Each structure stands twice: as C-alpha cells, then as structure tokens.
C-alpha cells in the first residue's frame, strides 16, 4: 500500500509528464489528463493487478482509457510502470511513434488493448472484457476511466444496462467529473448526485468521491472491488488540477501549453520526478484453454436460408471453446439461437443495443475470444463507429448481418440492408463475404473464425436453392463460375440472392440463343480480379447484379478490381437498387428493382441489341 | 371527453383492425399492436390536438410511432380518424401501397411525418419536433410511443438526457411495457419502478399506469400535459392483450394470425366495429413565418480552413429564420459556434450524442426547419443508422463533417474520417460535396440549404489557399478544371485537400515536361461525368486522389461514372489511403499515404514511363 504522499507525488509526476509530452508535441490534452492523475495514480499503484512485463497475461486486470484524449496521462502512467521510457514518452504524437495522439494497440504498444478516442466506447469494451473473464473463470477485473462529457453518448447507457443485467461485478468504471467539455460546461457539470441517481437506476453500485483525495479514492476502489454488482466511482475533479492558471478554467480543452506556460505549470506541480511503481501482481493463474472438439459443419442438400445455415454453422463452431456469439435480441431471426442452444454459456444476449454489442465483442476478442456479433444487417449501421474503431484496435471480429436487401420483402425499407456492403468495404483490411447457398455459408463461417481483422458475412432472409456440395472450397478472394462456354456473349456477376436470379436469367437467355456466363462473387473484398477480368475480356459485356444500393457495393468493387491493372476493358454495367423500395413480396421487389431474372434478361437483350 | 366505454370500444376496434390487416397481409405485428391499443385510443380520441384534414398544419400536435413495427395499430388509428379507408388499411404490406410494413411518410401517407422501424429513433425525432415547436412559439406537443425493448438503445437515453436539459416540457413519451421482446422477455420485464427510477434520474416526470385502463391513461396524459418537464407515461401492458391465446404469451412476436386464429381473436374482441373519432383540434393558430434577410456570404481572399468557412457561411445563412444548427459538442472545432453567435435561439447544443443530434434534425426538418447537424466527420459514423432512416423519411438534411482524412494530423486515426464519403454515397438520393477552398465552401453551403434530400459537406481541418473568386458558381454535379491544355498526358482528379496536392504535383510535373490536367471534383455525388470522360479520353490516364480509404470514395465514384456510358476507357488509377495511419503532421501523413504532391508526381512518372 502506498502512502498518501506517494500517491500525491506520483499524481504530480503524471501531471508533469502529461504537460511535458504534450508541450513537446505541440498538441494534446494536458488538462484532461490532470483531472484524472490522482485516480490513475491510486489505481495503478495499488489496485490494478497487472504484470507489466506480460501485458497479455489473461490473469491481468485490464484498463481501458475510454476518455482516449487523456492519452498523455495514459502514456505517463506507462512510463511510471516502466513499460516505456521517457524518450518514448516524449515522442508523443510524432510520425511513426507508437505513442499516438489517442491510444492504439500496436506490436510495440502491447499495454494498450483497444483503440479509444471516439468517446463512449470504452465501457462497452470493458464490459466485454469483464464477461470474457467470467467465461474463463478468471478472477480479474476490467477497469474503465470515463470522462463526464462522454456519458452523453447512449452507448454508455447501453453498457450500463447490460452490465448490471449480466451481473458484471468485475467491471469498475471511474467517472472523471471535471465539469468541462470541449466547448464549455457539460450538461450536468458537478451534479454528482445526478450521476449517482442514474447509475443506481441502471443497477450499479455508485460511490461519490473527491477525485483529488488519494485516500478517499483508495477507499472507493476497495468498496467498488467488494461490490456485488458493477460499480462506478464518481469522482469530482478539476480539469487542469494543480496548476493555478488551468484548474477549472474554460478554454483549455485540447490545448498544449507553450514552453513558457509548461515551465510555470511544472514548477507549480513541484517539478519533474522519477518515480517508478509496480502494480500489484495478478492474483490467479489461468487454466490452459480447453481443447476444442472437431468442428463438423452442417451439410445441405435442400433449400435453406443462408441466415439459417449461418446459425447452424455457428453452432457447429461452438465445438471450439473460444468461440462466442453476441446477439442484438434477434437471435430467432439471425439464428444465433442455434449457437445459444449448444453453448448458452458463450452466448451473450446484448438486447437491442448494437453499439454495445460490437463494443463487447471488441473487448472479448482482446481477451482471445473468437467473437461473432450478429444482428440484422441494416442495424449494423447503428454500430458503424464501433466497427471503424475496431479496425483501429486491430480487432479480429466476425460480424454477420441478416435480412439483406429488398429481398426481405414485406417489412419494408427500415429493415432492408442496402448500404452494408459499402459500409463494410470501407473498413480497413476488412473481408466482405456474401454466400448464396447453405454450403457456401457453412464453409465461409468456418473460414471467418480463422481470419484476422474484421470480416463480414451477409445473409439472406428467404430460402435459396443449394448450388454447391458440402465441403466445396470457398477461399477468401475466390469466386465460382457457375455457367461458362466459349460462346458467352455476356457475363452476369451476382452475389448472394442475385446469383440465383442471374442463373435463371442465363437460362432464359439461353432460350433466346444468348449464352451467358454466370459468376458467384461470394468474396466481395478481396475480390477475384483474375476471373472477372478474363470474363470481361472473353465476353465483352459484364453486368454486376446486387441487392444493394448501386453505390459502394458489388458493382463498385468489380469496377475497382477491373481498373486495377489498367487494361482498357469492355463494357461493365452495374445493376442494383436505385430507388427507395416499399413493401412487397421479395420477388415483386427484385423485379421492381431490376434485379430479377426477368429484368436481367431484358437488360441483357437491350444491351446486346 | 370520451367515456370509458367509448375508449374501450375504440381500443377493441383498433385491435380487431390490427389483426384483420396483418392476417390479410400474412405478416406483421398484431400482438405489439394490441398492447398499445388502449393507449392510442385515449390519445387520439382526447389528447392529440390534430387536424386530420391538415396533417402538416404547424399547430398540430405530432405523434411518432417509435415502435414502428406496431404499424397495424397506427394504420388502424388512421382509419378510425378517417384518414384512410378500410380498403387501404387492408392493402397493408402490399406492393405499391402506402400502408407499408413500417410507417413511411409518402405523398399519399401525409399523416406519417417520419419513417420508423429501426428502434430507438422515435424519441430523438420527437424531441426535435418539440424543440422546433418551442422555437416557433407554438403551443403544440410531440407525443412518442415507445416499446420497452427499444429502451435498450442508447439513443433513447441520449434523447432523455437532452430533453430534460433543454426543458422540453412539450414532449410526452408513452412507454408500452408489454414485457416481451422479439425473442423473449425484456431486460426489465414488468419492473415499472426501474423504468421510473431511470426516467426520474434523467430529469423527467414519470407516471406509472395500467395501460389497459383508459380512465387511468387519460389521467396520466392530463398529468403529463401539465408537467413542467418532459413526461413519460410508463404503462404496464400485455402483448396480445384481449385475446386469450395471445395475451402475455411468448412466441407471438411479429407473427400474423392465421385466418382461423384471426376469426377467434376477433370474436374475443367483440367483432369488427365502425367507430369514427375526431381528435381535438389544435389550439393555436401559427404566426406566418418571419421574413428572412438577404444572405450575404463571406468572401475569402486569404487561406482559410474550409471548416471555418463552413461556420461563417452557416452564420450568414442565419439570415433565413428557418435555418437551425445542431452541434455534437464540438462547435469550436466545426465552427458552428459562428452560427451560435448570431442565432443562439436556433442553435441546439446536442452534446456528445450524435444519434440524438441526427434524430433531432429529422424531427426539426419535419416541421419545416432547414437543419444542419454538424460534427467531426468521423463521428457521423455513430449516426449512420439515423441517416439511413432519414433517407426513408424523405428528410431534407444538411449534414456537415469536419476533420476529414489523414490531413487532421497528430490526433491520429480515431479522429480521422476515412469512410464518410463511402457512407454518404450509399444513402438514397444523397448529395456529397467536398470543397477545397473558402469560396467554394460558402457557395456550396448556400446551395445545400435549398437542396432536397440528404446532402453532405466534408470539410478540412487545416487552412487551404483560396483558388476561387467569391461568387464563382458551384453547381451540384459540376467540377472545376484548374489546369488544362491540349498537351495534357495525365488528368489528376482531386477533391478537398487533395486538389491542392494535385495542383502542386502538376506544377512539379510541368517542370519535367509532363503536362497534367487538374480537376476539382467538389461534387462527388452527383459527379461531373462529362468532364471526367472527356479528360480521360483526351489524356488517356486519369488518377483519382483522395484523403479517404481507397474503397467507396472519390475513386469509386469516378469509376462508376466513367463506366456509365459503356465506352471502353483509358487507364484510371485510384490513389487513396490503404494502410492504417497513425499520428504525424498532415504533410507527413499525406506523404506516407501517397496523396502528397511529391508522391502523386512520382506515381505519374512511373505510370508514364
């Protein structure tokens, strides 16, 4: 146990170092760091059970800096625990440095588990970590430092509700109520009682504390650790605390001090120090991971909806003990309920809170889980910022979205995903998959479980015929040519539901004496450029057909691939959804959108006329 | 005032009609309709002050069905008030009918103001309506019916916090606590006290009520109407109420009854009725809109950041009294603070809650406001589902996002928008604009104010040189050719920040004897196909250069445009961000990404070698 003097000295050092590195960088958030210096001094000295030399040890507690802009403080802590040196600290925000403007996990920054900086994301992530620890029977805790501005984000309340519901008593939030947001006072300013009332109403244990009194902070942490439910330490703090011209002053958000100002501030804080601390060691060892059983994929010979095949394949993957599924309260539609039936202890019902679901998945994968967050593809748009940030976190996530396109039919446009491919293509290093039958789905789900980065599988609501044999290979970046001859005068490129329409169109066209090649482009990113290029060269006309807005989807992916090598190419015509759909049967709507067999054949005839 | 008997009879009729239309459709949500039948019977008979013959009358109260899947109930109400006939009701979910699976505002469905069906969106929208009414001095109210499952969505709590903060005592939420979600019980089931505690903690007036007792409901609405703050009526209800084999039973979510089941259910409800009701008339007339002053746009002759020019142009537009600005607590970065300075009463501080900000904007535009919701472009990803739904609402929204691309520099990837163009292109009927200087920005901001649908303006953090004269025209769908000659061997297409890099690259290349055309593609959707096509035809090589992921942005938009007419074209090379950036100076990062003048020139030399 540290003494009050030691905590205060460390807090001063963290403040000084936060100022030093941000002033050297010429930007950053020293004042948002100063408000939380005492909180982290006490946490890292005496509460966070953490092996700095082995940051990925599963027995470790985890710390998530949800208020990612307080990165100077985070890196100052990492210096105090000996993770990084002063020189590295002073490379803050420089090109090539792992000491970035906001924390990012990198090979040379293993003490950061997840990227933060988009506010309101830390608590959902920490909740996922806490639940993963519980799944693994590890007596570790997830700690999360939040700023007061960010609790305006609904995602925080999604996590608050889910944390108490799921009994995450190993989750401790620390709320740094420094009263001042970016452009002025927060909604609640220093009304700590309002924060407490909200936390209590959401089923948490809440403790108010003076955030610059280390002894009180220590007591609050002890109380939080002993709580029978998730606990939040609500700390009254001052932005810029400890420096007369910064403390509780407006106009200092996100501003580095000049060298002269820094000198004055550092003097007020008692000058630089060289304190080193060692956090408490993690308490428990961790059992080696259980051995998985062999995965036996389902095999299909009759029509089945790819969403159902997805659920069954996911259930088969439950044989691997690291696989978890997360649901947005639609498990009977996406068929993650099939996974729940066989592995209920690794199924997380996230209710209708897609942001928190994605955040939890990011937290779980940081602890080694192979996480599949799943909902209607349309509602993944709700979580796009989390997906964007997950890519910065270098997270491995397996996302699936069901009910793609106008093909859902009667429910109408609010439930139709028509932008999900565009959205997922524009995620760094993502993989975008869209199978058309049950066997392709099963194969791709198994593949996803081993893919790095963010992969996305789009599924269809209605049953589709089986085109492939069980066990057929579906490599990422591949395609399947379903019809081909030397006489082909046109290539029809589909994915998912439109593969079947393209096949039927080719059949019709064959009746008219027009031979059409049909390609199933199940891997949209990466895409099978060689096959597409050869098809265009050989047939001279290529149509992409997609149940998606005409922008950003299969068609754009095909055009981009064909442009890649720079060969002047034949004619490519994109066919997709261009007008706002309403209700109708799937077939009526595909016909209306121009992506039905009949409309495709009609279009080809006109183009060849 | 209706009698209890009248309310009950009407509720039974609404239940019967909900069953009739969904059974006829073969799908839909009769049980979620039955739980709220009494609530809406009392509301529409005696509380909602609404002129059915003049639904867009600004004096009307507004009703938002946040639980959009209860559309059978909504349309049954519209039949009872004479807005639609029984035949139209029975066209529910049919192709071409305005009686869609979830409510959608259409020319022939003017009683629906906004699309719902993605849960958790109704309350932010209703809050926007309530604030618009207050701005206009209209004593109307916004009413919003929520389901209990959807309060898991954080966006609901964003609206709860903002509503009390903004004093929206003309906002009344009705929470239909029917205990059952799509796949089973909700998190809180019938724990009404937990809902009440949460509502109170968020600053609302809360009233618990038996949701099938019309007299109690009436009393609760009276109390809510008199409250000095936003009020929520928390109603304990039964899903499938009134039908023995449906009431409070699991497994009936989103299922239409068979004809035989429907017959039994309708009999239990006392058979069909033909009750007509007339809601109370709106109380007040509405003052004619104030006349705006002439808009005098700022003029630039010195370098200025386009985000700053945006703020100043928006401030100039404040001369039009219908213009409002909404902020995500970053007004000093996006420069909406310039608008706030001149029109504080039409500036809404939404704090860090992007979903609610977009929802409020949708609600405000439904009442005639010209709404500009603005934040960092990266954080618009937070609100993508709201933007998607806004398009289904046929909303006119002017969205702006600042801090685009790696060009923000030191803050690192969490703050860099690199997917926003992809995201906004894939919004139905959207307009995507990306100006490169102050005068272009000012012109485009003024244009946006008059554009239908969803328009998006992307701005840059750092100062950029002035390329255009004040008053230069910037038509949507146009472009500016900044360098051109008969000897051009390459075309460089940029937008925003990359226009300046392209110009500098062209200068360098000219020194090497390579003449380059430079096009400022400030309108990315729609795009200037003719100019691009001519440039490619004349120069044979075209590079798109963008500070955005290589997927879904300017490059894909250019390829799609060039493919449109089907002419085999020359070589198009997309240059954009392909690796995950870190911190650095803007120039270092552009150079690293290959989009700096130096790297562009290098690339061109190689391609021409």
Condensed to tens digits (0 to 9), the pLDDT of residues B427-456 reads 999 999 999 999 999 999 999 999 999 999
CB A153 to CB B352 under 8 A? yes
User: What pLDDT, on a 0 to 100 scale, did the predictor assign at position B291?
Assistant: 82
Place B288 in a pLDDT band, splitting at 50, 70 and 90.
Answer: confident
Residue-wise pLDDT for B402-425, tens only, equals 999 999 999 999 999 999 999 999
Under the banding of pLDDT at 50, 70 and 90, the label for residue B566 is confident
Decide: helix, strand or coil at residue B220: helix
Measured between CA atoms, the residue of chain A closest to residue B327 is A183
- The residues, ordered by sequence, that sit 6+ positions from B73 with a Cβ below 8 Å of its Cβ are B14, B18, B32, B33, B34, B36, B37, B40, B65
Which residues in chain B touch residue A181, judged by CB atoms under 8 angstroms apart? 329, 351-352
Among residues B350, B359, B321, B323, the alpha carbon closest in space to that of B114 is found at B359
- In chain A, residues with a C-beta closer than 8 Å to the C-beta of B203 are 194
Lookup result for tokens 């998006």 = B456
Catalytic residue (choose from A150, A322, A354, A546): A354
Lowest-confidence region among A144-158, A294-308, B561-575: B561-575
Distance between CA atoms of B412 and B592, rounded to whole angstroms? 14
The pLDDT of residue A53 is above 60? yes
Q: Is B354 a catalytic residue?
A: yes
Q: Which of A157, A385, A572 sits opposite B381 (nearest CB)?
A: A385
pLDDT value for B565: 77
Structure tokens at B522: 């400030």
Q: Which of residues 270-299 of A touch B (CB under 8 A)?
A: none
Q: Which token pair is B147? A: 């389901």
**Shortest CA gap B115–chain A (Å):** 8
Q: Is A326:A373 a contact under the CB 8 Å cutoff? A: yes
For residue A583, give how far its alpha carbon lies from the nearest alpha carbon of chain B (Å).
5
Which of B532, B551, B573, B586 to mutate: most A Cβ within 10 Å?
B551
Instruction: Categorize the per-residue pLDDT at B510 as very low, low, confident or very high, splitting at 50, 70 and 90.
Output: very high
pLDDT at B287: 79
Residue B235's nearest CA partner among B278, B284, B199 is B199
Q: Determine, for residues A413 and B392 on separate chains, whether the beta-carbon distance falls below 8 Å.
A: yes
- Cβ contact, residue pair A428, B569, below 8 Å: no
User: Which of A152, A191, A229 has the highest number of chain B CBs within 10 A, making it the mutation to test binding with B?
Assistant: A152
Please write the tens of the pLDDT for every residue from A472-514: 999 999 999 999 999 999 999 999 999 999 999 999 999 999 9
According to DSSP, the β-strands at A431-433 and A523-525 are antiparallel
pLDDT at A282 over 60: yes
Q: Do B95 and A411 touch (CB under 8 A)?
A: no
Region B308-317: mean pLDDT is 98
What region does A170 belong to: left with phi over 0, alpha with psi -120 to 50, or beta? alpha
Average pLDDT over residues A154-176: 98
Q: Kindly state the tokens that stand for A398.
A: 């397996």
Task: Select from B115, B333, B353 the Cβ nearest to the Cβ of A152.
Answer: B353
**pLDDT tens-digit series, residues B341-399:** 999 999 999 999 999 999 999 999 999 999 999 999 999 999 999 999 999 999 999 99
How far is Cα A12 from Cα A38, in angstroms, rounded to an integer? 8
Q: What are phi and psi of A490, to 5 degrees?
A: -155, 150
In B, minimum Cα distance to A555 occurs at B560
Mean per-residue pLDDT, A540-565: 95
Of the candidates B356, B425, B589, the beta carbon closest to that of A422 is on: B425
Interface check B592 vs A, CB under 8 A: yes
Q: Average pLDDT of B264-280?
A: 98
Q: Would you call A453 an interface residue with chain B, using a CB distance cutoff of 8 Å?
A: no
What percent of chain A is modeled with pLDDT above 90? 97
Kindly list the residues from chain B whose CB atom is less than 8 angstroms away from the CB atom of residue A382: 118, 153, 355, 384-385
d(CA B445, CA A474): 48
Question: Chain A contacts of B182, Cβ < 8 Å?
Answer: 329-330, 332-333
pLDDT of residue A98: 98
Residue A291 confidence (pLDDT): 82
Chain A contact probe: residue of B419, B532, B539 with most A CBs at under 10 A: B419
CB of B198 within 8 Å of any CB in chain A?
A: yes
In which band, very low, low, confident or very high, does the pLDDT at A564 lie, cut at 50, 70 and 90?
Answer: confident
User: Which chain A residues in 376-415 lie under 8 Å from chain B, judged by CB atoms?
Assistant: 378-379, 381-382, 384-385, 388-389, 391-392, 394, 410-415
Of B97, B102, B423, nearest to A426 by CB-CB distance is B423
pLDDT in tens, B218-254: 999 999 999 999 999 999 999 999 999 999 999 999 9
Q: In the prediction, which pLDDT does B568 show?
A: 56
Closest CA to A234 of A185, A191, A203: A191
* The three-state (H, E, C) secondary structure of A207-274, written as one string: EEEECCCHHHHHHHHHHHHHCCCCEEEEEECCCCCCCCCCCCCCCCCCCCCCHHHHHHHHHHCCCCCC
d(CA B370, CA B448): 9
| Tens-place pLDDT, residues A195-228 | 999 999 999 999 999 999 999 999 999 999 999 9
User: Per-residue pLDDT averaged across A433-453, rounded?
Assistant: 98
pLDDT at site B135? 97
Q: Is the pLDDT of residue B564 over 90?
A: no
Helix residue spans in B84-213 (DSSP H): 86-89, 122-135, 154-165, 192-201
Interface of B with A in 410-439 (CB under 8 A): 410-415, 418-419, 422-423, 425-429
Asked if residue A568 has pLDDT above 60, the reply is no
Phi/psi-derived region of residue A248, left when phi > 0, alpha when psi is between -120 and 50, beta in every other case: left
Segment holding A483, helix H or strand E? strand A480-483
ipTM exceeding cut-off 0.95 for this assembly? yes
Nearest CB neighbour to A152, from listed B100, B153, B352: B352
* Mean pLDDT for all residues in chain B: 97
pLDDT at A473: 98
Distance of residue B363 Cα from the nearest chain A Cα, in angstroms: 17
Q: How confident is the model at residue A570 (pLDDT cuts 50, 70, 90)?
A: confident
Q: Are B435 and B500 in contact (CB under 8 A)?
A: no
Taking contacts as CB-CB distances below 8 angstroms, the residues of chain A near B352 are 119-120, 149-150, 152-153, 181
Cβ–Cβ under 8 Å, residues B205 and B227:
yes
Q: What's the pLDDT band for B580 if we cut at 50, 70, 90?
A: very high
Query: Rounded to 10 degrees, what is the CA torsion of A572, A575, A576, A579?
Result: 120
- Give the span between the Cα atoms of A536 and A534, in whole angstroms: 5
pLDDT digits (tens, 9 = 90+) for A19-43: 999 999 999 999 999 999 999 999 9
Reply yes or no on whether the pLDDT at A569 is more than 70: no
| Contact by Cβ (8 Å): A584, A534 | no
Give exposure, B205-218, as e/b (b: 16+ Cβ within 10 Å).
bbbbbebbbbebbb
Residue A358 has phi, psi (to 5 degrees) of: -65, -40
Q: What is the pLDDT of residue A567?
A: 61
State the pLDDT at residue A289: 75
- What Rg do the C-alpha atoms of chain B give, in angstroms? 27
Closest CA to A597 of A478, A503, A482, A486: A503
Q: Is the pLDDT of residue B209 over 80?
A: yes
Number of Cβ pairs < 8 A linking chain A and chain B:
348
Residue A333 has pLDDT above 80, yes or no: yes
Query: Measuring CA to CA, which residue among A465, A519, A520 is closest to residue A488?
Result: A519
pLDDT of B250: 93
């Amino acid at each position: 146990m540290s003494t009050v003097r030691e905590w205060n000295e460390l807090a001063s050092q963290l403040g000084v170092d936060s100022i030093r590195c941000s002033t050297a960088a010429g930007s950053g958030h020293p004042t948002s760091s100063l408000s939380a210096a005492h909180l982290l001094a006490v946490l890292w000295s005496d509460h966070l059970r953490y092996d700095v030399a082995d940051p990925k040890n599963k027995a470790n507690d985890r710390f998530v800096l949800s208020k990612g802009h307080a990165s100077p403080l985070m890196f100052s802590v990492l210096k105090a625990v000996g993770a990084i040196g002063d020189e590295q600290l002073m490379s803050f925000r420089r090109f090539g440095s792992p000491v970035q403007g906001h924390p990012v996990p990198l090979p040379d920054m293993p003490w950061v588990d997840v990227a933060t900086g988009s506010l309101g994301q830390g608590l959902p992530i920490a909740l996922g970590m806490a639940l993963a620890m519980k799944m693994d029977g590890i007596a570790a805790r997830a700690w999360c430092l939040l700023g007061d501005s960010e609790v305006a984000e609904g995602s925080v309340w999604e996590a608050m509700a889910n944390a108490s519901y799921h009994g995450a008593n190993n989750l401790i939030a620390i709320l740094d109520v420094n009263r001042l947001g970016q452009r002025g006072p927060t909604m609640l300013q220093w009304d700590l009682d309002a924060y407490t009332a909200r936390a209590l109403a959401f089923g948490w244990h809440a403790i108010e504390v003076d955030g610059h009194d280390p002894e009180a902070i220590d007591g609050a942490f002890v109380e939080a650790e002993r709580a029978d439910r998730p606990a939040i330490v609500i700390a009254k703090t001052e932005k810029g605390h400890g420096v007369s011209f910064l403390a509780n002053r407006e106009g200092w958000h996100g501003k580095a001090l000049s060298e002269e100002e820094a000198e004055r501030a550092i003097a007020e804080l008692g000058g630089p120090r060289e304190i080193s601390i060692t956090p408490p060691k993690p308490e428990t060892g961790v059992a080696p991971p259980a051995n998985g059983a062999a995965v036996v994929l389902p095999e299909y010979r009759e029509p089945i909806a790819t969403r159902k095949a997805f659920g069954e394949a996911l259930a088969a993957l439950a044989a691997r003990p690291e696989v978890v599924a997360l649901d947005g309260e639609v498990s009977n539609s996406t068929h993650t309920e099939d996974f729940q039936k066989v592995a209920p202890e690794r199924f997380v019902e996230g209710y209708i809170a897609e942001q928190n679901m994605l955040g939890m998945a990011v937290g779980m994968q940081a602890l080694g889980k192979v996480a599949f967050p799943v909902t209607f593809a349309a509602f993944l748009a709700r979580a796009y910022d989390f997906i964007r940030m997950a890519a910065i976190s270098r997270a491995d996530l397996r996302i699936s979205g069901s009910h793609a396109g106008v093909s859902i039919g009667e429910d109408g446009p609010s439930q139709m995903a028509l932008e999900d491919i565009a959205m997922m293509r524009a995620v760094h290093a993502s993989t975008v998959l869209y199978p058309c039958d049950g066997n392709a789905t099963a194969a791709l789900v198994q593949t996803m479980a081993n893919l790095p980065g963010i992969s996305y599988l789009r599924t269809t609501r209605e049953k589709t015929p089986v085109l492939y044999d069980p066990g057929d290979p579906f490599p990422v970046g591949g395609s399947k040519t379903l019809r081909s001859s030397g006489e082909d005068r046109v290539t029809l490129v589909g994915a998912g539901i439109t593969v079947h329409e393209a096949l039927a169109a080719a059949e019709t066209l064959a009746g008219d004496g027009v031979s059409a090649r049909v390609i199933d482009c199940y891997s949209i990113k990466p895409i099978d450029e060689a096959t597409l290029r050869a098809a265009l060269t050989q047939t001279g006309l290529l149509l992409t057909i997609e149940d998606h807005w005409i922008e950003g989807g299969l068609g754009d992916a095909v055009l981009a691939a064909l442009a890649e090598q720079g060969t002047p190419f034949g004619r490519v015509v994109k066919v997709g959804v261009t007008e706002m759909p309403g209700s109708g049967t799937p077939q009526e709507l595909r016909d209306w959108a121009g992506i039905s067999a009949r409309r495709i054949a009609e279009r080809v005839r006109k183009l060849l006329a």
